[in-house]
Amino acid sequence: MLCQVDRAFIMSAMDFLDKLNPGQRKAVTAQDGPVLVVAGPGSGKTRVLTQRIVYLIANQGVRPWQILAVTFTNKAAKEMGERVKAIINEQAIEGMMIGTFHSICARILRRESEHLPLESNFVIFDSDDQQSLVKSIIREMNLNEKLYRASSVHAAISRAKNDLIFPDDYPINTYRDEVVKRVYTEYQKRLIASNAVDFDDILVYTARLLEENPVVRDKYAQRFRHVLVDEFQDTNLAQYALVKHLASHHKNIFCVGDPDQSIYAWRGADYRNIRRFEQDFPDAQTVLLEQNYRSRQNILDVAMGVIDRAQNRRKKRLFSDRGAGEKIFFYEARDDFGEASFVVDTIAQLVASGEFEPKDCAVMYRTNAMSRLIEEAFLQARLPYKLVGAQRFYGRREVKDVIAFLRLVHNPSDEAALGRVINIPPRGIGEKTLTTLHMVARQNNVSAGAILLDLARGAESPHYKSFTGRAAIPLSDFGGLLSNWIAYSKTETVPELFDRILRDVNYKEYIVDDNSEESLDRWENVQELKRLAMEYSTRTMDEFLENVALVADQDTITDSNAPTLLTLHAAKGLEYSVVFIVGLDDGMIPHSRSFDEPEQMEEERRLFYVGITRAKDRLYLLRAIQRGGRGMAEETYPSRFIDDIPSDLLVGKTRTGRSIRGAPLDTKWSLPSSGKPATVSSAQYKAGTRIRHAMWGEGIVLDSRMQDGDEIVDVVFESVGIKRLAASLANLQII
């Protein structure tokens, strides 16, 4: 039982409330019932969530085990837990559940496995495992792999799961839909046969369990008197259904989010869940958090200029007590090489001046492909950098190998793990032998792992004769190793088992075979994984494997003192003193895929807004007049979002050396004038006009408008799709 909270503690907690601003205090002390907190960037939403938990325990008498707090990353969950512990002693919050959607749902599923087609020791297939399984099904069905790529089919399956659509209910409108349904059906069968789930299943199984089993639903809904949800705008339909079910008894659901920061539609996130919340809970209290503690006011004003043009949004006005700060620097480079050089030179100057540390700086871009030239610029300058999102730690081959060994020990039915490590290091078990192993398993209606364990008995196994002598011996040897590891796992800790497996298979010798720098780096990755395993010396293998399976990119960012390179999507939730946003050309920001999709264009606007609001003190916006594409330079046009920024907030230079909107700024990075493009007096290209371009051939004009003394023409080319061109530069011929 929770000991009584003493008076001193209550007073201490209430003193802390005095430090909150009016909006934060209103949210923290809100009465029971549904509450929607619309929190602007940098408005202290984590603080609000933390203080809400403290307030419920200290002031409202809520028991810790009656509180469920859901976040999107392990990092956020850990931070929230530590903040609560800093105010309330650890014993006083025992039993409180704080975690990600996936970790909490995985915990529920293991407890309620009797209601599932799974055993409680199910494993979680990572992205590679999922892709591999879909690919094998496509091949077995003799489908055209070019027409039905595994990544595309799996994405369709994932979207269906996010929308709580199961194989039997998968809608068929085209032949492709029929094929996806067949693959989806078999995919789920294979997962169940492997006693495995994918990431989507963790949510879907839980949502379905709570929907269809009133006893289980009531058990958790009655337990969790208060349900708190972070980053509510990033939830998908399955996640929304989950929190609705979990809050169905007490109706105390506290959601914090910002629809202006909804940028993950491609992952299934649905910002309309905020509207669903307001419809499902019409009596909900709504609290706006508008005071920003992160950014200077000029940065916020730029952000508001961009986001205020968004459609169908709740208006809010961000303000800061940190002062106006410097104006935003806009730089228009001659080409993308110049853009990259400007970024590196400017960071070097800021660091040399002593104003900022390298780690204070971040370079953000729309797509990963844009990092190449920036990386090269850093390398040429011999300056270090951190790259986020490219070859994640948990995606590295050696890391996946070791995790697969541990997964196989934990669950010998894990086919993906078995297939990965059965011949690592090479032990003479080829594809033909592996195929035979699976065939024997199917004939005996057991897993391949079960056959392998039985083969550990050697010739005494009834399955031994199913293999040639050359194949049976290595299978028997590996089965013996697996059997020993399973036995060791009953008594040894995670790091002890980790070491034993690597020692038994001589894994270090396997990857450090040439003593090269690359191989040594790979072994260091294994050692880093070992350091993580050490944190689980007193915890279970279940917990360790769930952690490595569910970890996000942002959770693995290192603390080295170097500038960070990352996409705008990856920047969500982060902050930096100095932010560079590159690629502010139409077609890049916003991305060309959004031109004909109003919903996507709105998300592109929100994405730019998110990038802007990562900046604390300095913001640099960059574009290039020309970019390399298909081996040759292409003319670009400034992002339409730049026009939404108040003109008095920008300073900088174009390629011509003329100042942008603000006062002239003398800078060594200004490029020499190459002359202004010729002006055009009136529009000559009307919608529907057929034209010819020297590079892209024939096309049809979609739209045309005059801007800054030039005609801006949107053209759809059969060869390259839609392009936005300046008539004075494009040399278009009417045909």
pLDDT in tens, 13-50: 556 677 889 999 999 999 999 999 999 899 988 889 99
Instruction: Tell me 327's DSSP state.
Output: P
Cβ atoms of residues 526 and 402 within 8 Å: yes
Confidence band for 514, pLDDT divided at 50, 70 and 90: low
Looking at residue 267, what is its pLDDT? Answer: 66
pLDDT tops 50 at residue 668: no
Catalytic residue among 112, 129, 200, 231: 231
Cβ atoms of residues 312 and 304 within 8 Å: no
For the chain, state the CA radius of gyration: 29
Cβ atoms of residues 419 and 447 within 8 Å: no
**Residue 239 neighbours by CB distance under 10 Å:** 25
HSE-up (13 A, CA, CB side) for residue 328 = 30
Catalytic residue among 29, 46, 436, 667: 46
Looking at residue 687, what is its pLDDT? Answer: 76
Identify the weakest region by mean pLDDT among 161-175, 255-269, 349-363, 399-413. 255-269
Catalytic residue among 225, 327, 522, 614: 614
Looking at residue 662, what is its pLDDT? Answer: 40
563: left (phi over 0), alpha (psi -120 to 50) or beta: beta
| Averaged pLDDT, 152-162 | 89
Q: Name the one residue in this structure whose structure tokens are 């004075």.
A: 728
Residue 324 Cα to chain centre, angstroms? 32
| Averaged pLDDT, 462-487 | 91
pLDDT tops 70 at residue 280: yes
Catalytic residue among 129, 201, 230, 270: 230
Looking at residue 215, what is its pLDDT? Answer: 94
pLDDT tops 70 at residue 508: yes
Of 217, 223, 243, nearest in space to 232 by CA? 243
Report how far residue 405's alpha carbon sits from residue 399's, in angstroms, rounded to the nearest whole number. 10
25 is catalytic: no
* pLDDT above 90: percentage of residues in the chain: 45
Instruction: Tell me 562's DSSP state.
Output: S
| Averaged pLDDT, 284-301 | 94
Per 3-state DSSP, the chain is made up of helix, strand and coil in percentages (nearest 5) of 50, 15, 35
| Averaged pLDDT, 182-205 | 93
200 is catalytic: no
Mean pLDDT, rounded, of the chain: 84
pLDDT tops 80 at residue 613: yes
Cβ atoms of residues 700 and 688 within 8 Å: yes
pLDDT tens digits for range 339-393: 999 999 999 989 988 899 999 999 999 887 678 778 878 877 888 888 886 555 6
pLDDT tops 70 at residue 1: no
| Averaged pLDDT, 44-60 | 89
pLDDT tops 60 at residue 667: no
Of 366, 336, 356, 299, nearest in space to 346 by CA? 356
Of 503, 483, 502, 498, nearest in space to 537 by CA? 498
pLDDT tops 60 at residue 628: yes
Report how far residue 388's alpha carbon sits from residue 190's, in angstroms, rounded to the nearest whole number. 33
| Averaged pLDDT, 332-344 | 89
Higher pLDDT among residues 84 and 344, named by residue: 344
Catalytic residue among 45, 400, 522, 653: 45
pLDDT tops 80 at residue 521: no
Higher pLDDT among residues 554 and 395, named by residue: 395
Confidence band for 653, pLDDT divided at 50, 70 and 90: low
676 is catalytic: no
pLDDT tops 50 at residue 527: yes
Distances (CA, A) of 298 to 289, 316, 324, 325, 645: 19, 16, 5, 6, 11
pLDDT tops 70 at residue 432: yes
Report how far residue 318's alpha carbon sits from residue 41's, in angstroms, rounded to the nearest whole number. 9
Cβ atoms of residues 228 and 49 within 8 Å: yes
pLDDT tops 70 at residue 425: yes
For residue 163, give both structure tokens.
């929308």
Looking at residue 70, what is its pLDDT? Answer: 92
| Averaged pLDDT, 520-524 | 73
Report how far residue 153's alpha carbon sits from residue 44's, in angstroms, rounded to the nearest whole number. 40
Looking at residue 513, what is its pLDDT? Answer: 60
Looking at residue 295, what is its pLDDT? Answer: 95
Question: Helices marked H in 237-286 — which ranges?
Answer: 237-246, 273-280
556 is catalytic: no
Angle at 607 between CA 272 and CA 42, to 5 degrees: 90
Catalytic residue among 130, 261, 291, 346: 261
- Residue 291's DSSP bridge partners are 319
Looking at residue 11, what is its pLDDT? Answer: 44
Identify the weakest region by mean pLDDT among 139-153, 227-241, 715-729. 715-729
HSE-up (13 A, CA, CB side) for residue 103 = 26
pLDDT tens digits for range 588-603: 899 887 888 888 899 8
φ, ψ of residue 83 to 5 degrees: the values are -65, -40
Looking at residue 271, what is its pLDDT? Answer: 73
φ, ψ of residue 569 to 5 degrees: the values are -65, -45
231 is catalytic: yes
Sheet holding 733-734, edge to edge: 721-726, 710-717, 697-707, 690-693, 733-734
**Residue 437 neighbours by CB distance under 10 Å:** 24
| Alpha-carbon torsion angle 354, 360, 361, 366, nearest 10 | -170
For residue 91, give both structure tokens.
């014993």
Looking at residue 729, what is its pLDDT? Answer: 65
Higher pLDDT among residues 427 and 253, named by residue: 253
- Overall pTM surpassing 0.85 (yes/no): no
Element (H, E) at 28: helix 22-28
261 is catalytic: yes
